[in-house]
């Protein structure tokens, strides 16, 4: 059983995230989408809301994917889960330096797991949760960027925060 962890803030989950998770589910026997709680960030959605949105979006479509939430060192979660890989999406060269540093640190902390980078699909190259949130805050159309199940929830929450 080859287990992979797809970590992130998922605040909220985007079509870019969903693409990476879907492709990871084809490469590994079991995939854990991990909503990581980062005390340094002020999220728009609680961890429970983020988990719920991811579960709603995945539905029954990816039977080998589960969703969890965690606060702490990713390397520790990965070790405890018995995972062999951390899967991340790489959008552009600008992502690389940060992701490279994280991959090396995670390898040092847990030599049993490797970070696997999947190239983001070209239509998602510029997509990020923070970009989507900015557009939503000003009443812009976010339906191209988010899975349809959560568009209204995200638009409603962020519009009302203006
Ligand atoms: O979606 P994000 O915010 O870019 O995801 C970043 C995340 C959650 C993957 C990263 O911040 C993380 O792994 N946090 C957990 C704490 C940790 O292990 N930090 C790295 C030490 S090498």
**106 in contact with ligand 1, CB cutoff 6 A:** yes
Give, using CA atoms, the residue closest to atom 5 of ligand 1: 8
Tell me the pLDDT tens digit for each residue of 47-98. 999 999 999 999 999 999 999 999 999 999 999 999 999 999 999 888 899 9
Tell me the pLDDT tens digit for each residue of 123-161. 988 899 999 999 999 999 999 999 999 999 999 999 876
CB atoms within 10 A of CB 12: 28
Q: Among all residues, which ones are annotated catalytic?
A: 17, 41, 91, 129
**102 in contact with ligand 1, CB cutoff 6 A:** yes
pLDDT band at 162 (very low <50, low <70, confident <90, very high): low
Among the atoms of ligand 1, which is closest to the Cα of residue 11? 1
Give, using CA atoms, the residue closest to atom 17 of ligand 1: 73
CA dihedral sign, ordered 104, 22, 126, 140 = negative
**For a pocket test of ligand 1, which of 4, 5, 6, 7 has the largest count of ligand atoms closer than 8 A to its C-beta?**
7
* Global pTM value: 0.96
Query: How far away, in angstroms, is 64 Cα from ligand 1 center?
Result: 23
Give, using CA atoms, the residue closest to atom 3 of ligand 1: 9
């Amino acid at each position: 059983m080859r287990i992979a962890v797809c970590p992130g803030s998922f605040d909220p989950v985007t079509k870019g995230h969903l693409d990476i998770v879907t492709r990871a589910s084809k490469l590994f026997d079991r995939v854990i989408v991990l909503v990581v709680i980062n005390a340094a960030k002020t999220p728009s959605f609680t961890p429970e809301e983020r988990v719920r949105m991811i579960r709603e979006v995945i539905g029954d479509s990816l039977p080998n994917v589960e969703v969890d939430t965690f606060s702490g060192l990713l390397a520790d979660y990965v070790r405890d889960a018995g995972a062999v890989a951390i899967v991340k999406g790489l959008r552009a060269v600008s992502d690389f330096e940060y992701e490279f540093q994280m991959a090396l640190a995670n390898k040092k902390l847990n030599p049993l797991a490797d970070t696997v980078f999947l190239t983001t699909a070209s239509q998602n190259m510029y997509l990020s949760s923070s970009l989507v949130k900015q557009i939503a805050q000003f009443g812009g159309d976010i339906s191209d960027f988010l899975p349809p199940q959560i568009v209204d929830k995200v638009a409603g929450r962020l519009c009302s925060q203006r």
